Amino acid sequence: METPKILQVPDEIKTIKAQELLQENESLLREPRQGVGLGSYVIDLATGTWKVSPELYKIFGVDETSLHTLEGWVALLHPDSREKCIEYSSHEELEKTRIDYQCRIVRINDGEERWVHGLEEIEYDDQKIPIRHLGTIQDITERKHAEKQIQRSEAFLRQVIDINPNLVFVKDREGRFTLANKAVADVYGTTVENLIGKTDASFNGNPDEVEHFRQVDLKVMDTMQEQVISEERITDAAGQMRWLQTVKRPIEGEDGRVNHVLGVATDITERKLADSRLRRTQYAIDHATDGIFVIGHDGRFLDVNESACRRLGYTKQELLTKSVMDIDPDFPPAAWVSFWEEFKHTKLLRLETRHRGKSGEVYPVEVVANYILHEGEELDYAFVRDITVVRPEGLEPPTPRSVVWCSIH
What digits encode the pLDDT tens for the residues 38-68? 888 888 888 888 888 888 888 888 887 776 7
Return the domain boundaries, the chain.
11-144, 164-269, 287-407
Kindly state the average pLDDT of the residues 228-242.
Answer: 94
pLDDT in tens, 88-98: 555 555 556 67
Q: Place 231 in a pLDDT band, splitting at 50, 70 and 90.
A: very high
pLDDT one-digit tens code per residue, 192-223: 999 999 999 999 999 999 999 999 999 999 99
**Partners of 347 in the beta sheet?**
407
> Is domain 287-407 annotated with CATH 2.40.50.140?
no
Phi/psi region, residue 205 (left: phi>0; alpha: psi -120 to 50; beta: rest), is: alpha
Residue 254: HSE in the Cβ half-sphere, 13 Å Cα cutoff: 0
Is 28 or 105 the better-scoring residue by pLDDT?
Answer: 105
**pLDDT of res. 200:** 97
Half-sphere exposure (CA, 13 Å, Cβ side) for 358? 12
Per-residue pLDDT band at 73 (split at 50, 70, 90): confident
pLDDT at residue 217, rounded to an integer? 97
Rounded to an integer, the average pLDDT of 108-136 is: 87
Percent of the chain with pLDDT over 90: 53
CB 340, CB 328: distance < 8 Å: no
Q: What is the mean pLDDT of residues 140-164?
A: 89
Q: Which residue has the higher pLDDT, 190 or 56?
A: 190
Check residue 4 and give its pLDDT: 38
Q: What is the mean pLDDT of residues 347-375?
A: 94
Count of C-beta atoms within a 10 Å radius of residue 130: 18
Predicted pLDDT at 346: 92
Report the C-alpha dihedral over residues 186, 181, 216, 240, rounded to 10 degrees.
Answer: 10
**Second CATH level (architecture) for the domain 164-269:** 2-Layer Sandwich (3.30)
For position 325, what pLDDT does the model report?
95
Sheet containing strand 177-180, edge to edge, reads 177-180, 167-172, 258-267, 241-252, 227-235
> Confidence band (pLDDT; 50, 70, 90) for 384?
very high
Q: Is the pLDDT of residue 16 over 50?
A: no
Nearest to 329 by CA among 407, 409, 403, 400: 400
pTM check: above 0.75:
no
- What residues contact 218, with CB distance under 8 A and at least 6 apart? 173
Say what the pLDDT of residue 406 is: 32
6 pLDDT band, cuts 50/70/90, is very low
How many whole angstroms from its chain centre is CA 43?
52
Minimum mean pLDDT range among 1-5, 245-249, 352-356: 1-5
Query: What is the rounded average pLDDT for all residues in the chain?
Result: 84
Classified as helix, coil or strand, 171 is strand
What SS3 class is residue 179?
A: strand
CATH code of 11-144, in short, is 3.30.450.20
Which of 63-77, 110-124, 244-258 shows the lowest mean pLDDT across its residues? 63-77
Residue 244 pLDDT class (50, 70, 90 cuts)? very high
The candidate with the shortest Cα–Cα distance to 368, out of 352, 350, 380, is 350
